[in-house]
Amino acid sequence: MKFLFATLLFLSASTVFADEPRVIDVRRNITLSDSDKIYKDFYINAGSDHFKKGQTLTASRKLNVRDSSGSTNIGEISVPIGELKIIAVYDKVTVARLVKLLDREELPMIEQSGVMTGDLVDLKK
Protein backbone atom coordinates (compact mmCIF):
# COMPACT_ATOMS: atom_id res chain seq x y z
CA MET A 1 0.00 0.00 0.00
CA LYS A 2 2.80 2.44 0.89
CA PHE A 3 4.52 1.61 -2.40
CA LEU A 4 1.33 2.34 -4.36
CA PHE A 5 0.84 5.65 -2.53
CA ALA A 6 4.49 6.65 -3.13
CA THR A 7 4.21 5.75 -6.81
CA LEU A 8 1.02 7.79 -7.24
CA LEU A 9 2.59 10.73 -5.42
CA PHE A 10 5.67 10.56 -7.67
CA LEU A 11 3.59 10.37 -10.86
CA SER A 12 1.40 13.31 -9.86
CA ALA A 13 4.46 15.39 -8.90
CA SER A 14 6.21 14.58 -12.18
CA THR A 15 3.10 15.69 -14.08
CA VAL A 16 2.89 18.98 -12.17
CA PHE A 17 6.60 19.69 -12.49
CA ALA A 18 6.99 18.58 -16.11
CA ASP A 19 9.75 20.15 -18.13
CA GLU A 20 7.74 23.13 -19.29
CA PRO A 21 9.96 25.96 -20.52
CA ARG A 22 10.23 28.47 -17.70
CA VAL A 23 12.41 31.33 -16.49
CA ILE A 24 15.18 29.94 -14.29
CA ASP A 25 17.30 33.08 -13.82
CA VAL A 26 16.98 36.86 -14.28
CA ARG A 27 19.91 39.20 -14.90
CA ARG A 28 20.22 42.89 -15.68
CA ASN A 29 23.07 45.16 -16.50
CA ILE A 30 24.31 47.82 -14.10
CA THR A 31 24.32 51.22 -15.76
CA LEU A 32 26.99 53.80 -15.06
CA SER A 33 24.97 56.80 -16.25
CA ASP A 34 21.35 57.80 -16.69
CA SER A 35 21.71 57.65 -20.47
CA ASP A 36 22.84 53.99 -20.54
CA LYS A 37 20.17 51.55 -21.69
CA ILE A 38 18.98 49.01 -19.13
CA TYR A 39 18.69 45.42 -20.34
CA LYS A 40 16.90 42.65 -18.50
CA ASP A 41 17.70 39.11 -19.62
CA PHE A 42 15.79 35.96 -18.76
CA TYR A 43 17.40 32.53 -18.84
CA ILE A 44 15.02 29.75 -19.87
CA ASN A 45 15.48 26.02 -19.19
CA ALA A 46 14.96 24.96 -22.83
CA GLY A 47 17.37 25.20 -25.72
CA SER A 48 17.69 24.73 -29.45
CA ASP A 49 15.17 21.89 -29.51
CA HIS A 50 12.40 24.37 -28.48
CA PHE A 51 13.37 27.86 -29.64
CA LYS A 52 15.20 29.86 -32.32
CA LYS A 53 16.95 33.21 -32.11
CA GLY A 54 14.62 36.12 -32.92
CA GLN A 55 11.38 34.45 -31.82
CA THR A 56 9.02 36.32 -29.54
CA LEU A 57 7.78 34.61 -26.38
CA THR A 58 4.98 35.35 -23.95
CA ALA A 59 5.82 34.95 -20.27
CA SER A 60 2.91 33.91 -18.06
CA ARG A 61 2.38 33.06 -14.42
CA LYS A 62 0.13 30.35 -13.02
CA LEU A 63 -2.04 31.59 -10.18
CA ASN A 64 -4.08 29.43 -7.83
CA VAL A 65 -7.53 30.88 -7.22
CA ARG A 66 -9.01 30.18 -3.77
CA ASP A 67 -12.20 31.21 -2.06
CA SER A 68 -12.16 34.12 0.39
CA SER A 69 -11.43 31.86 3.37
CA GLY A 70 -8.45 30.36 1.54
CA SER A 71 -9.56 26.83 2.34
CA THR A 72 -10.97 25.80 -1.05
CA ASN A 73 -8.91 25.75 -4.21
CA ILE A 74 -11.20 26.87 -7.05
CA GLY A 75 -8.69 26.34 -9.86
CA GLU A 76 -5.61 27.61 -11.60
CA ILE A 77 -5.32 30.34 -14.23
CA SER A 78 -2.45 31.36 -16.47
CA VAL A 79 -1.94 35.14 -16.53
CA PRO A 80 0.20 36.71 -19.29
CA ILE A 81 2.93 38.97 -17.88
CA GLY A 82 5.06 40.26 -20.75
CA GLU A 83 6.77 39.70 -24.07
CA LEU A 84 10.34 38.47 -24.46
CA LYS A 85 12.53 38.24 -27.57
CA ILE A 86 15.10 35.46 -27.86
CA ILE A 87 18.63 36.84 -28.25
CA ALA A 88 20.66 33.62 -27.86
CA VAL A 89 19.98 29.89 -28.01
CA TYR A 90 22.23 27.14 -26.66
CA ASP A 91 21.81 23.38 -26.30
CA LYS A 92 19.89 23.47 -23.01
CA VAL A 93 19.42 27.18 -22.28
CA THR A 94 17.79 30.09 -24.10
CA VAL A 95 18.38 33.76 -23.27
CA ALA A 96 15.53 36.18 -23.92
CA ARG A 97 15.34 39.93 -23.38
CA LEU A 98 12.33 41.86 -22.11
CA VAL A 99 10.47 43.64 -24.91
CA LYS A 100 7.50 44.93 -22.92
CA LEU A 101 5.31 44.25 -19.91
CA LEU A 102 1.64 43.76 -20.71
CA ASP A 103 -0.88 46.34 -19.57
CA ARG A 104 -2.97 45.18 -16.60
CA GLU A 105 -6.08 47.12 -17.69
CA GLU A 106 -7.64 44.07 -19.39
CA LEU A 107 -5.66 41.35 -17.60
CA PRO A 108 -5.91 40.01 -14.05
CA MET A 109 -3.79 41.74 -11.41
CA ILE A 110 -0.64 40.03 -10.16
CA GLU A 111 1.06 40.48 -6.79
CA GLN A 112 4.58 40.85 -8.21
CA SER A 113 4.84 42.90 -11.40
CA GLY A 114 7.36 41.97 -14.06
CA VAL A 115 8.65 38.66 -15.37
CA MET A 116 10.33 36.61 -12.65
CA THR A 117 11.95 33.25 -11.96
CA GLY A 118 9.40 30.45 -12.29
CA ASP A 119 7.24 32.15 -14.92
CA LEU A 120 6.36 29.92 -17.87
CA VAL A 121 7.24 30.90 -21.44
CA ASP A 122 5.55 29.97 -24.68
CA LEU A 123 5.73 31.18 -28.26
CA LYS A 124 3.66 34.33 -28.66
CA LYS A 125 0.21 33.51 -29.95
pLDDT in tens, the chain (125 residues): 544 444 444 444 433 445 799 999 999 988 888 899 888 999 999 999 999 999 999 999 999 888 888 788 889 999 999 999 999 999 999 999 999 999 999 998 888 889 999 999 998 75
How many whole angstroms separate alpha carbon 2 and alpha carbon 40? 47
- Alpha-carbon separation of residue 22 from 4, 35, 65 (angstroms): 31, 31, 21
How many whole angstroms separate alpha carbon 100 and alpha carbon 82? 6
Count the residues in the chain.
125
DSSP 3-state assignment of 68? Answer: coil
- As beta bridge partners, residue 31 has none
Model pTM score: 0.77
